[in-house]
Structure 1
Amino acid sequence: MSLQLDWLTGHMHHSDTYAAWIHQQFHYEYAHQPLAEWQREFADGQSNGEWSCLIAFDGDRLIGGAALARDDLAHRPDLGPWLACVFVDPQARGQGLAEQLIEGVCDEAQRRGLKRLYLHTQNKQDYYAKRGWQTLEDFRAWDNQHWLMVRDL
């Protein structure tokens, strides 16, 4: 595998595919947003700073990504920025790729002078806790339990 990480802005031909993966993986968050509308918002987010996405690819095959998002939780507009849209193709899992993507986003946030990042997760709180994230609260959303977490950079 010849793994490369780079920002999606230089590889926009992957934008719709990645947005579709996120729309499917986190379907409960996008229940009221049609895929095509989300794909437009996500693509626009690469240039306007809403969804700066770091992607991983092997050759020209997209295999994962993670985003530095301005807003990612409607009921907490007071918080941000966010680690969001973390996803690795099932065929590429188990090799530490998600962790590389997360660290890449954290490094970029720190480079931009940000002091902390937030995330919310439905079932990966233990994964994030082992990597330096702390739980701020748990809450119910989309008919499920979620965890709001923070990491100082």
Structure 2
Amino acid sequence: MPRLDWLAHHPHHSDTFAGWIHRQFHYEYASQPLADWQREFAEGQGNGDWQCLIALEGDQLLGGAALARADLAHRPDLGPWLACVFVDPDARGQGLAERLIEGICAEAKAKGVARMYLHTQDKHDYYAKRGWTLLENFQAWDQQQWLMVRDL
């Protein structure tokens, strides 16, 4: 079974994971070059902006999720955020995303966080089945988005 650990303990995977996120959510990063995002994401492992939990099989990176200080520019009043949820397509179907999400929520709760937020373009049903509720819909990146919340 894949193990979960903090990306800060495996910094050699930071650029790979940041690249996956940059490609998967390309519409959010359209104005940010990959190298700039990789630098921001790597720094975020130390400064708390993007604390990332990753899934590993041996030393192979399978996916990750982040506890983000801020993840939606037009809602700076909210946070922290579940962000950057991604599992490599070859590793899907094993429940890794759910384990990563629960790991991030457990970490937030251990830090005294009572409520977390996320935004999604197309996975609102997935999150709703896992205890997240709709806070509001909004338009961004030319698409309908769901802003969701979960009490911890």
Match in the other structure for 1:125: 124
Cα distance in 2 for residues equivalent to 1:88 and 1:78: 29
Match in the other structure for 2:46: 47
1:2-151 → structure 2 map (5 Å cutoff)? 2-151=1-150
Unaligned runs of 5+ residues in structure 2 are none
RMSD: 0.5
Q: Which runs of 4+ in 1 moved over 3 A?
A: none
Percent sequence identity over aligned pairs? 75
SS of the residue 1:13 aligns to: helix
TM-score when normalising by structure 1: 0.99
Once the two structures are superposed, what CA deviation does each residue of 1:48-78 show, in whole Å capped at 9, x if it has no partner?
A: 0000000001011100000000000000000
1:81 positional shift: 0.3
**What is the count of residue pairs matched by the alignment?**
152
The one-letter code matched in structure 2 to 1:25 is: Q
Cα distance in 2 for residues equivalent to 1:58 and 1:117: 28
